[in-house]
């Protein structure tokens, strides 16, 4: 049943991890063999320990022909398909990055700490463009800036921009506090593609509608323009099976926290949750086809999730 599913790659974040402990990692997942291989264990003394997730863990994932690109909170890493580190890149306006998306030679990154999107030019190997998001009354405003300049947007987190999805039609992005999936056109005009519930992750246009993790309500949802909706319940476990429950410090460290989402085709999707679990769903039948669990540690949550493109 699972033999036709492609291999997947996932990143994870460990909430509440302390110095000397793992803060997440990078994994490939084979549903056919139900096997998981960890390639990177993220542990650095430079991590900010003040927040809940903040600098911990590795985040968004993208690919070029010969490289795997993975974002951390304030750094972009390039790895070979064997996970040998090739290079890393920083920018003053990249902070608390979540997801990334590529279109041609441009890599788009969310900079949650600056209410911004940043663009990394894959040919020039530099951060070349940025967009700062604000509001003027009910109108969204996108202000371009050059991330190479010393004068840029203020450090803020008004909208918690955590998702970007780029297509030929334009740039789609959203945050926990935007209340909508936003669209940036070629004229730098920001408009609302559709409304979203509070606390949404991984929103993107999909099959004449929008696909997203309705994280607060523990569902993955596909809502069509005609109002039709498919809802998939996020995986949960018996409380007695969970580990590190004595370390739970707040309501955001919980099981069934849905984050990480990718599509295999227009019917089969893959979603992540906590404790780090990856599930494959058939949208048309609203059915879970299978799941692979990486750990039962309640603090460990999937973040980035993509189909693995290398053989």
The answer on pLDDT for 169 being more than 90 is no
For the ranges 24-38, 124-138, 152-166, which has the lowest average pLDDT?
A: 24-38
Instruction: Tell me the pLDDT tens digit for each residue of 224-239.
Output: 999 899 999 999 999 8
- pLDDT-based confidence at 187, cuts 50/70/90? confident
pTM of the model: 0.91
pLDDT tens by residue, 55-67:
556 899 999 999 9
Report the pLDDT value the prediction gives residue 56, as an integer from 0 to 100.
Answer: 54
- Report d(CA 130, CA 28) in Å as an integer: 31
Distance CA 30, CA 82 (A): 16
Residue 141 pLDDT > 90: yes
Domains assigned to the chain: 1-53+223-311 (no CATH), 59-196 (2.130.10.10)
Q: What is the pLDDT of residues 211-269, one digit of tens each?
A: 999 999 999 999 999 989 999 999 999 989 998 777 655 545 788 999 999 999 999 99
- Residue percentage of the chain with pLDDT more than 90: 76
Judge residue 307's burial from the number of C-beta atoms within 10 Å of its C-beta, 0-12 exposed, 13-18 middle, 19 or more buried: middle
- Residue pair 303/58 in contact by the 8 Å Cβ criterion: yes
């Amino acid at each position: 049943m699972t033999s036709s599913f492609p291999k997947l790659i996932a990143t994870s974040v460990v909430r509440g991890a302390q110095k000397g402990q793992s803060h997440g990692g990078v994994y490939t997942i084979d549903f056919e063999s139900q096997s998981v291989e960890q390639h990177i264990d993220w542990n650095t003394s430079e991590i900010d320990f003040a927040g809940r997730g903040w600098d911990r863990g590795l985040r968004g994932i993208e690919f070029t022909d010969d490289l795997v690109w993975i974002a951390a909170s304030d750094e972009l890493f390039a790895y070979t398909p064997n996970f040998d580190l090739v290079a890393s890149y920083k920018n003053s306006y990249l902070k608390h990055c979540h997801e990334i998306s590529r279109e041609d030679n441009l890599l788009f990154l969310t900079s949650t700490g600056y209410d911004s999107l940043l663009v990394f030019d894959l040919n020039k190997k530099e951060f070349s463009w940025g967009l700062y998001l604000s509001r003027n009354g009910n109108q969204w405003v996108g202000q371009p800036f050059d991330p190479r300049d010393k004068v840029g947007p203020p450090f803020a987190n008004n909208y918690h921009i955590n998702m970007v999805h780029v297509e030929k039609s334009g740039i789609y992005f959203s945050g926990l506090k935007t209340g909508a999936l936003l669209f940036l056109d070629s004229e730098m005009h920001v408009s609302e593609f559709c409304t979203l519930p509070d606390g949404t992750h991984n929103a993107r246009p999909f099959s004449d509608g929008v696909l997203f993790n309705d994280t607060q309500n523990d569902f993955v949802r596909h809502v069509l323009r005609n109002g039709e909706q498919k809802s998939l319940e996020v995986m949960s476990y018996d409380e007695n099976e969970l580990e590190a429950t004595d370390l739970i410090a707040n309501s955001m460290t919980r099981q069934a926290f849905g984050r990480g989402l990718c599509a295999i085709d227009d019917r089969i999707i893959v979603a992540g949750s906590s404790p780090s679990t990856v599930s494959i769903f058939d949208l048309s039948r609203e059915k879970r086809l299978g799941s692979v669990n990486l750990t039962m540690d309640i603090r460990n949550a999937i973040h980035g999730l993509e189909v693995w493109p290398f053989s």
